[in-house]
């Protein structure tokens, strides 16, 4: 068990919990499989299929973060994380394997943290592609509220450029 790394993840997340331990091990498994530690920029991309506690350990250990645009949330509700190395094209999808853990929360967490990360996940190829690099968009001022937003989020409604807060939604299930 790598105590210093785990403690650092706990400090980043705010508390120790079994969910954080899952992300901790997912990040370590990805590092082992891809032979890569953490991202200075967007060379490593993580697609997380959940927005639970474990994502914080993934962010801390791999430096795939929301702010850099190399942490992408693709909700499926699964304890699954994919990692892509842009330079080599290597990719991996890790899916948490069900197995009998201690019932008690603290014991479960400790058992997960102490386990060999290579044994905890099914390893497959992602069934989705790595997204393009983060783009920069011009800022447009909403003609209703006056707040600026990225061009991507502007809607044209009755000839006015509106932000998504101000535009009426029209959902036909497309």
Nearer to Zn ion, 19 or 117 (CB): 19
- A 10 A CB-CB count for 69 gives 16
Nearer to Zn ion, 9 or 120 (CB): 9
Cα 74 to Cα 45: distance, rounded to the nearest angstrom: 13
Nearer to Zn ion, 128 or 153 (CB): 153
Distance between start and end Cα atoms, the chain:
48
- At its nearest, how many Å lie between Zn ion and the CB of residue 62? 18
- At its nearest, how many Å lie between Zn ion and the CB of residue 85? 28
Nearer to Zn ion, 7 or 165 (CB): 165
- At its nearest, how many Å lie between Zn ion and the CB of residue 16? 8
Nearer to Zn ion, 20 or 26 (CB): 20
Q: CB-based burial of residue 20 (10 Å sphere; 0-12 exposed, 13-18 middle, 19+ buried)?
A: buried
Instruction: Give which of 28, 23, 21, 73 is closest to 46, Cα–Cα.
Output: 73
- At its nearest, how many Å lie between Zn ion and the CB of residue 162? 6
Cα 64 to Cα 119: distance, rounded to the nearest angstrom: 23
- At its nearest, how many Å lie between Zn ion and the CB of residue 15? 5
Cα 16 to Cα 9: distance, rounded to the nearest angstrom: 8
- A 10 A CB-CB count for 90 gives 14
Q: By the criterion CB under 5 A, which residues form the site for Zn ion? A: 17, 19-20, 53, 142, 144-145, 163, 165-166
Cα 22 to Cα 50: distance, rounded to the nearest angstrom: 12
């Amino acid at each position: 068990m790598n105590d210093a790394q785990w403690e650092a993840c706990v400090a980043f997340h705010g508390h120790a919990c079994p969910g954080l331990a899952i992300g901790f091990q997912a990040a370590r498994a990805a590092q082992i499989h891809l032979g890569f530690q953490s991202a200075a920029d967007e060379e490593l991309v993580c697609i997380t299929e959940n927005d639970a506690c474990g994502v914080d350990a993934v962010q801390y250990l791999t430096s795939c973060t929301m702010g850099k645009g190399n942490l992408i949330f693709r909700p499926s509700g699964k304890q699954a994380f994919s990692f892509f190395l842009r330079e080599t094209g290597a990719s991996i999808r890790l899916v948490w394997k069900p197995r009998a853990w201690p019932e008690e929360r603290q014991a479960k967490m400790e058992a997960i943290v102490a386990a060999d990360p290579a044994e905890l996940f099914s390893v497959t190829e992602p069934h989705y592609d790595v997204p393009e690099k983060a783009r920069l968009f011009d800022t447009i001022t909403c003609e209703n509220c006056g707040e600026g937003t990225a061009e991507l989020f502007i809607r044209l409604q009755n000839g006015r450029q509106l932000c998504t807060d101000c535009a009426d939604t029209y959902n036909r299930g497309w």
